[in-house]
Amino acid sequence: MSDSTHILLLGAGELGTAFIPPLLALPSTYLTLAVRTPSKYAHLTASFPTLSLLPLDTTAASSTLIASFSQYDIIIAATGYGQPAGTVTKLARQVLAAGDARHGEGKRKGKLWFFPWQFGVDYDVTGDGEGLMPLFGEQLAVRTLLRNEAKEHHVKWTVVQTGIFMSFLFEPFWKVVDRESEPLTVRALRSWEHKVTVTDVGDIGKALARVVKGDVQAEDRKVFVAGDTISYAQLADIVQKVTGKEAKREEWTIPYLEEELAKDPDDLIKKYRLVFARDGVWWDKEDTVNYKLGIPMMDVETYARQLLR
């Protein structure tokens, strides 16, 4: 990066908050956090004196958002899942319009760089989960929009695929590592050979900062990040090793997951389990930004030792 870089970060949830330290550590970088109620986040400015807060609601009028977005060099969306349908598409279109406005004003150099909220699985492969996950389908539509239209609007983009949060594997509601059952139970989605890519939230920020810094070619493409990619058999072995207990193993095949969803077709967790039993949820660590740059990342065994010891 040359001169100073001004970043607007949308969202201060678990992921957005984790982005703040590594982004602020970049040279000549100014970070603004956009939130609805800045007073709720005053504690962050106490911890990070160079962080600025901006009152901004992503449901505001497009003209308001476009004017705000055009003042920055980089827009990073960490807005999370709890948004109305159509929000991520609307946001992407507003960023494209901001790219035009920014270029026309001539106030800042180069293209506006957009990191959409795509810190998850490979939506190019999952699609909408065969109709189960409309949000996944919308995420794919955002990728298509950026691929087809970003250049003409003076916008460059990067999708950072991270898999699921590592903590998700061990959440009680997910029931893959079921610590509440007796005996301790580990369940495989699809098969014991099926894999999943997971990344610790803090490590996502470390990889993102290196992408922003320009240490890897990432413009107008998707890049991969992985704290770990493991099979469910490996996960069961790790849980046994860490706890010192024999784990009961249950295989939830795709037909079984389909049957369970049919009993309760509106159950979002059952939908997620079925989608994660299919393709597009893992990739080789050797293909990732963190592997190529030698970024140290939390693996599943280390995380499990901290959680289950």
Q: Is 70 exceeded by the pLDDT of residue 2?
A: no
Task: Please tell me the distance from the alpha carbon of residue 84 to that of residue 265, in angstroms, as a whole number.
Answer: 20
Kindly give the pairing relationship between strand 177-178 and strand 185-189: antiparallel
Please state the rounded mean pLDDT for residues 252-264. Answer: 98
Q: Where does the chain hold its CATH 3.90.25 domain(s)?
A: 166-196+228-308
CA distance linking residue 142 with residue 277, whole number of Å: 24
Q: Quickly name the fold that domain 166-196+228-308 has.
A: UDP-galactose 4-epimerase; domain 1 (3.90.25)
> For residue 250, what pLDDT band results from cuts at 50, 70 and 90?
very high
Query: Per DSSP, what are the bridge partners of residue 32?
Result: 8, 52
* pLDDT confidence of residue 107: 67
Is the pLDDT at 147 greater than 80? The verdict is yes
Q: pLDDT-based confidence at 1, cuts 50/70/90? A: very low
Strand order in the sheet with 164-165: 164-165, 195-199, 228-231
Note the pLDDT of residue 58: 87
Most confident segment among 34-43, 76-85, 228-237: 228-237
Region 5-161: CATH code: 3.40.50.720
Sequence-ordered alpha helix ranges (H) in 57-194: 62-69, 87-105, 123-126, 134-149
pTM given for the model: 0.95
Cα-trace Rg, the chain: 20
Name the average pLDDT for the chain.
Answer: 94
Is 90 exceeded by the pLDDT of residue 108? no
Q: Which of 97-106, 109-118, 127-136 has the lowest mean pLDDT?
A: 97-106
Distance CA 265, CA 253 (A): 17
